[in-house]
Amino acid sequence: MNIRLWTKALDPLALTLLLVSLLLGCGGNSAPVGSTPRSRETAETVAVPKQSDLDRSVVELKTDVCEHKMPTYTCDECRYQVGVVKVPSDLLDPAKSGTIEVVEVGSRAVRGGTDLNAEIRSDEERSVYVSPVAAGTVRVIHVDLGGRVAKGQVLYEVDSAEFRQAKADHTRAASALDLARATEQRESELFAKGICPKRDLLEAQAALRMAEAEHRAAASTLASMGLSDAALDSLAAGADTSGLMPVRAPFSGTVLERALSLGALVQPGDRALLLADTAKVWAQTTLYERELAAILSAPPGAPVGADVTLAAYPGRVFKGTVEKIGGTLDEVTRTAMARVVVDNPDNLLRAGMFARVRLLLEVAGGLALPEESILEDEGRSFAFVRLEGPYYIRRPLKLGKKEGGWVEVLSGVSSGDTVVAKGAFLLKSDVLRSKMGAGCAD
Ligand SMILES: [Zn+2]
């Protein structure tokens, strides 16, 4: 019946009865229990006749002697009175059953550190206001706010006097080049026939080189104004007479701002249209001293990874790396700004969204135990800690924060202790107890 002691007994009366029965021994046997005096009885435990093993010291529990005149913890029938279980070695043997696993308590650096609040920002180094290279009037707009564009795509077209002039200059240069070529050709033939002096040929050759340079310059001016190679070709063929100057996307991205209207005058440097490369975005966050120290002491050249999650996309993890860290700590909050560059392949992350950042680095921490090793009884947390040999004893724990399947342990275990991890709940259950042939349970 005292199996129930191991489960969460919420009813104080039932608990009292249980503890009374414990005091009286297994199966209602009224033989006296251990001889150790209850020296640590306090006002809080007055209502409970017997002190919980969680409130007694290991030394006290270990020296307890049972009704069978043996150390209670070694007694198959009574060890539960001192919170001890026996774990047969084959339960620990991974080759046989592997039902139970133990871990050694260490000052485990907790991977993941703290979850940090962050805000998604567009990559300011990869966002640019796209304005025309020459002033003009907006005639055609090809993109909408939020639209995705490819590198080189025409965003809008501007009617520009400067562009018309550049086209005219190009046309003139092309004509001059044609003329210079023909002249050079003719002089070359005449010179070959000995009809004209070499000096005329040299002059024609020099004129041709100059015309070529001017044509190249005119063409490159047009190219810088957004004219494509194909458009240049058709221009040379006299097919293109449009005065509209295309304004192209310098890289693939998303249109984040669009302050354009048809008929408006736009000039170089205007904040006409904001284009951002959203293949990567920033998660801007603040680091506490502990995380900051861990990042700064990370091996150089190895970027610190981060998992970024958003309430908007449950279950989805966006991968990122810590790229920039503020130079100083804020005096009041003791935090530093940090920027995590996040992959955004599906363009799901938008500036202004709130996110959580988990740094993938070892943050120096205190003692920690796997979550599965921590059990609850009477509203208190405990773990099975190795006493000696196959014996494990319940020890109360004071817990810190949980992260990544581990729980920080503030007190209750020491570095080097062996604690039951996997299967700990089985030790708590009567199933395993009967399997282990424990006395009181049957
Ligand atoms: Zn006994």
Q: How far apart are CA 247 and CA 229, in angstroms?
A: 15
Between 332 and 159, whose confidence is greater? 159
- Quick one: 415 exposed, middle or buried, by C-beta within 10 A (0-12, 13-18, 19+)? exposed
Phi, psi of 110 (to 5 degrees): -85, 115
Using the mean position of ligand 1's atoms as its centre, give its distance from the Cα of residue 25 in Å.
9
Using the mean position of ligand 1's atoms as its centre, give its distance from the Cα of residue 438 in Å.
11
For 80-100, b where at least 16 C-beta lie within 10 A, e where not — what string? bbbbbbbbeeebbeeeeeebb
Using the mean position of ligand 1's atoms as its centre, give its distance from the Cα of residue 68 in Å.
4
Task: Specify the DSSP element, H or E, that contains 375.
Answer: strand 375-377
Instruction: Record the tokens describing residue 184, joined without a space.
Output: 């050079």
Query: pLDDT at residue 400 above 60?
Result: yes
Domain co-membership, 184 together with 220: yes
Long-range contacts of 209-214 (CB under 8 A, 24+ apart): 210/180, 211/173, 211/176, 211/177, 211/179, 211/180, 211/181, 212/177, 212/180, 214/173, 214/176, 214/177
Using the mean position of ligand 1's atoms as its centre, give its distance from the Cα of residue 77 in Å.
5
pLDDT number for residue 80: 84
Task: Give pTM, 2 decimals.
Answer: 0.47
How many distinct structural domains can be found in the chain? Answer: 4
Place of tokens 């086209």: 167
Using the mean position of ligand 1's atoms as its centre, give its distance from the Cα of residue 375 in Å.
25
pLDDT number for residue 385: 94
Contact assessment for residue 88 and residue 334, using Cβ atoms and an 8 Å cutoff: no
Contact assessment for residue 321 and residue 281, using Cβ atoms and an 8 Å cutoff: no
- Report for 106-110, 233-237, 325-329, 354-358: range of highest mean pLDDT: 354-358
pLDDT tier at 116, thresholds 50, 70, 90 = confident
Query: pLDDT at residue 114 above 70?
Result: no
pLDDT number for residue 44: 44
Using the mean position of ligand 1's atoms as its centre, give its distance from the Cα of residue 45 in Å.
25
Using the mean position of ligand 1's atoms as its centre, give its distance from the Cα of residue 87 in Å.
18
pLDDT number for residue 112: 53
pLDDT tier at 90, thresholds 50, 70, 90 = confident
pLDDT tier at 291, thresholds 50, 70, 90 = confident
Task: Output the domain CATH number for residue 422.
Answer: 2.40.420.20
Using the mean position of ligand 1's atoms as its centre, give its distance from the Cα of residue 261 in Å.
91
pLDDT tier at 4, thresholds 50, 70, 90 = very low
Task: Output the domain CATH number for residue 316.
Answer: 2.40.30.170
Place of tokens 């900051």: 292
Percent of the chain at pLDDT exceeding 70: 81
Residue 65 DSSP one-character state? B
Using the mean position of ligand 1's atoms as its centre, give its distance from the Cα of residue 98 in Å.
29
Q: How far apart are CA 433 and CA 442, in angstroms?
A: 9
Query: pLDDT at residue 254 above 80?
Result: yes
pLDDT tier at 99, thresholds 50, 70, 90 = confident
pLDDT tier at 50, thresholds 50, 70, 90 = low
Residue at a domain's end among 361, 392, 425: 361
Q: What is the pLDDT averaged over residues 322-338?
A: 81
Percent of the chain at pLDDT exceeding 90: 32
Answer whether residue 442 is part of any domain: no
Residue type (1 letter), 148: R
- Quick one: 128 exposed, middle or buried, by C-beta within 10 A (0-12, 13-18, 19+)? middle
Domain co-membership, 382 together with 323: no
pLDDT number for residue 127: 86
Identify the domain containing residue 184 by its residue range. Answer: 161-242
Residue at a domain's end among 320, 345, 361: 361
